[in-house]
Amino acid sequence: MMQESGIETKSNGSAIQNGASSGNHLLECSLREVRSNGETPSVEIGAADLAHLQQQQALQAARQFLLQQQQQQQVSGLKSPKRNDKQPALQVPVSVAMMTPQVITPQQMQQILQQQVLTPQQLQVLLQQQQALMLQQQQLQEFYKKQQEQLQLQLLQQQHAGKQPKEPQQQQVATQQLAFQQQLLQMQQLQQQHLLSLQRQGLLTIQPGQAALPLQPLAQGMIPTELQQLWKEVTSSHTAEETASNNHSSLDLSTTCVSSSAPSKTSLIINPHASTNGQLSVHTPKRESLSHEEHSHSHPLYGHGVCKWPGCEAVCEDFQSFLKHLNNEHALDDRSTAQCRVQMQVVQQLELQLAKDKERLQAMMTHLHVKSTEPKATPQPLNLVSSVTLSKTASEASPQSLPHTPTTPTTPITPVIQGPSVITTTSMHNVEPIRRRCPNKYNVAISSADLAQNQEFYKNAEVRPPFTYASLIRQAILESPEKQLTLNEIYNWFTRMFAYFRRNAATWKNAVRHNLSLHKCFVRVENVKGAVWTVDELEFQKRRPQKISGNPSLIKNIQTSHTYCTPLNAALQASMADNSIPLYTTASMGNPTLGNLANAMREDLNGAMEHTNSNESDSSPGRSPMQAMHPVHVKEEPLDPDENEGPLSLVTTANHSPDFDHDRDYEDEPVNEDIE
DNA sequence: CGCCATTTAAACATGG
DNA sequence: GCCATGTTTAAATGGC
């Protein structure tokens, strides 16, 4: 159980440290470096680029001045446009912050998908709204850009003649710009409202830390280049395909670099304490990892016939031309290096996110463990599990907030977050949970993080998995490469995957054997080495439609897990469709065959539906979208979710941690679980 | 209440 | 004899 956590902890530490504060500094540095290199005859940056950069610089300076002028009409102190070291520090983050809320960033999207369950309809509406807003903004943006260009030209002329940015013309343009800024502001406010309304509806939960940034009040200043850059970032990550028209491509970074790297000249600084940068930069990798996923093709930088190098969207006919392009355009030079650094930054941000989620998990598990060992009255794992069921009640409000609604007649409870319940179905996909009724009306947040973490949860928390032995055994067998396992290997799987099965070995092993023998679906096959067990899927399926039952004590949450599975699937779908949420698909968590996830979930779902459908007549807002999409039908032809398997399947590889091979290590003294 | 699935416990068989 | 592996029986629980 140690080997899985090794990497994670490692990434934890570094991520936490870097992500929060120093991260942007790093970015800044890298950007600066790019810029400084850009001035020397760099390989990549041509004359046009340089000119562009210069223009941008000039523009920045001018804009700075104008804004300052505007703002300080009463204050008669500052005159030189180059002196305002402080203002930009205020302005820049603002501009950055401005972009984020305008369009729901992938992160926010992700949050939506993670934390709340949305029906596809809701998602669609949401997306449509976003699209509409984006469109409008794009138009404004373009217009604004034109304005900038005008200003730019004038500025250049003036620069040659000696800077006198106070001329009437300038002011006019500036006024126009301000007008547009205001328009953009309006747009942004609209967006804010949108988000807020989402929040109000409980559809979007923004974590305290993150909320501050995107939703923070906006000031006036905007820096065009950054704005543009950010805009591109956002839009490109949202509509990856639309960005075919890539007149910006590689220039993006350089321009940004200039602006950020010329604080002395133009007093532009990327706010060091605004994590907004990191947030934004997060978009880039998403695009990348997207291609990463959707392309069996091999190269993570190539997808959809487009170069996925950050900031580059060059169209490459085929893989060969892509390689060519890669070698030519993204050779080892300063720019690429800097971009690489930026990418590192991005990764760090993601790691930070991961770290946060892991922390959350840790807290959850700690919490659960403490609670479980405390009172004798409640047999730990069982109650824990059932408590999870309850937790969803509370967590409908906010996954973050600790649910404090443990008071329930039947179960003495430990308030729990979405932890295991979410987990169960997701990671245990193929496992057939013990289905019960107990309609789950609550929408529990399903987060990708949870998806990734659920296995971790069972690995580390002594919570009894809400699956029957048969299901688990089947799962174990199916997960094996050969679809067959020896008894001992099955044991090992149990102990590896579930902390719960690291005790009372005699008991559960007996149960495993018993199940193997009992169920026809498990077929013993003589092998060279001995005997292995396989699954007769037909048999297994056969018994499914029959009555369902299960471990009584566990039952309650079963339904939960099932209802979770549906929205989760939808969330996955949405996220895949959205193209911008590949996160957590990294195999870092030791996820087993996520590739099967969709299938398995669907499978489980279908199975569950047969039994639960009638019960779930209630109407909760975000309720299992999949139900809408896949009525009560049982498995048939592959459904939409299959598309998701592409990306997901990538994950399948790096899961299996080394075997335990120490089944006996867990042979503790039998602990009586006093089941009432 | 009966049926059934599941879990748990235990007896027993077999082979290394 | 011990242990791992299998098989089988039985009791208890709980959903339907």
**Residue A506, CB, strand C, below 7 Å:** no
- If one compares A441 and A52, the residue with the highest pLDDT of the two is A52
Residue bearing the bigger pLDDT, A507 or A567: A507
Minimal CA–CA distance to A492: which of A659, A665, A670, A656?
A: A659
Least confident window among A65-79, A376-390, A478-492, A505-519: A376-390
Q: How far is the CA of A380 from the C1' of C8 (A)?
A: 31
Q: Can you tell me whether residue A592 is helix, strand or coil?
A: coil
The answer, yes or no, to whether residue A281 has pLDDT greater than 60, is: no
CB A330 within 8 A of CB A309: yes
**Spatial separation of the C-alpha atoms in residues A399 and A415, rounded to whole Å:** 12
- Cα A115 from Cα A137, distance rounded (Å): 27
pLDDT of residue A56: 53
Q: How far is CA A232 from CA A249, A282, A314, A652, in A?
A: 10, 13, 15, 32
Q: Is the pLDDT of residue A353 over 60?
A: yes
What was the pLDDT predicted at A470?
A: 92
What's the pLDDT at A192? 52
Q: CA A178 → C1' B13, Å?
A: 89
Give the confidence band of A138 by pLDDT, cuts at 50, 70, 90.
Answer: low
A533 Cβ nearer than 7 Å to chain C strand: yes
Determine the pLDDT at residue A512: 95
* pTM score: 0.34
pLDDT confidence bin for A134, thresholds 50/70/90: low
**Among chain A residues 291-330, those with CB within 7 Å of any atom of strand B:** none
Q: Which of residues 512-571 of A touch strand B (CB under 7 A)?
A: 513-515, 518-519, 543, 546-551
Mean pLDDT of A431-452: 33
Chain B positions with any atom < 7 A from a protein CB: 3-11
Supply A282's token pair: 């997060």
A486 is near strand C: CB distance < 7 Å: yes
pLDDT of A154 above 60: no
For residue A526, the SS3 value is: strand
CA distance A646 to A568: 17
Task: With CA atoms as reference, report the closest residue to A644 among A580, A599, A586.
Answer: A599
Q: Which band of pLDDT confidence, cut at 50, 70 and 90, is reported for residue A330?
A: confident
Each as own residue / partner, the long-range contacts of residues A135-138 (CB below 8 Å, 24 or more positions apart, any chain) are A136/A187, A137/A102, A137/A103, A137/A184, A137/A187, A137/A231, A138/A231, A138/A235
Q: Answer for A548: CB within 7 Å of strand C.
A: yes
Q: What is the pLDDT of residues A599-627, one digit of tens each?
A: 333 343 344 333 333 333 333 333 333 33
pLDDT value of position A522: 93
Question: What is the C-alpha to C-alpha distance for residues A9 and A443, in angstroms, rounded to an integer?
Answer: 31
pLDDT of residue A340: 63
Enumerate the nucleotides of strand C whose atoms come under 7 Å of any protein CB: 4-10, 13-16
Q: Which of A662, A668, A672 is nearest to A494 (CA)?
A: A662
- A646 or A113, higher pLDDT: A113
pLDDT score of A76 more than 50: no
Cα-based angle A587, A286, A10 (whole degrees, multiple of 5):
45
A265 strand C contact, CB < 7 Å: no
**Tokens 């650094």 belong to residue:** A341
Structure tokens belonging to residue A666: 């867990």
pLDDT greater than 80 at residue A333: no
Is pLDDT of A36 > 70?
no
Residues 572-631 of A with CB under 7 A from strand C: 611
Q: Is the pLDDT of residue A42 over 90?
A: no
Contact A83, A197 (CB under 8 A): no
User: Is the pLDDT at A515 greater than 90, yes or no?
Assistant: yes
Label residues A20-37 b or e (16+ Cβ within 10 Å = b): eeebbebbbbbbbbbbbb
Per-residue pLDDT, A188: 54
| pLDDT tens by residue, A282-297 | 333 333 333 443 444 5
Specify the pLDDT at position A79: 35
CA A32, C1' C14: Å apart?
Answer: 68
Does residue A198 carry a pLDDT above 80? no
The answer to whether the beta carbon of residue A404 comes closer than 7 angstroms to any atom of strand C is no
Closest CA to the C1' of C14: that residue is: A552
Is the predicted pLDDT of residue A479 greater than 80, yes or no?
A: yes
Q: Which of A277-281, A378-382, A452-456 has the highest mean pLDDT?
A: A452-456
Mean pLDDT of A555-581: 34
DSSP letter (8 states) at residue A315: B
Single-letter residue type at A5: S
| A531 CB less than 7 Å from any atom of strand C | yes
pLDDT at A521 > cutoff 70: yes
Q: What is the pLDDT of residue A492?
A: 93
Using the structure, give the distance in angstroms from the CA atom of A516 to the C1' atom of B11, rounded to a whole number.
Answer: 18
Backbone angles phi and psi of A377, in degrees to 5? -55, -35
pLDDT > 60? residue A529: yes
d(CA A496, CA A544): 26
Confidence of residue A193 (pLDDT cuts 50, 70, 90): low
Mean pLDDT of chain A: 49
Spatial distance from the CA of A510 to the C1' of C7 (Å) = 12
A526 touches strand C (CB under 7 A): no
pLDDT at A455: 75
- State the DSSP H helix or E strand holding residue A535, giving kind and residue range, or none if neither: strand A531-535
**Number of alpha carbons in the 13 Å side-chain half-sphere of residue A453:** 28
Question: Any idea which nucleotide's C1' is nearest the CA of A543?
Answer: B5
User: pLDDT at residue A350 above 60?
Assistant: yes
- Nucleotide B10: closest residue by CA–C1': A510
Whether A404 sits with its Cβ under 7 A from any strand B atom: the answer reads: no
Indicate if CB(A505) is under 7 A from strand B: no
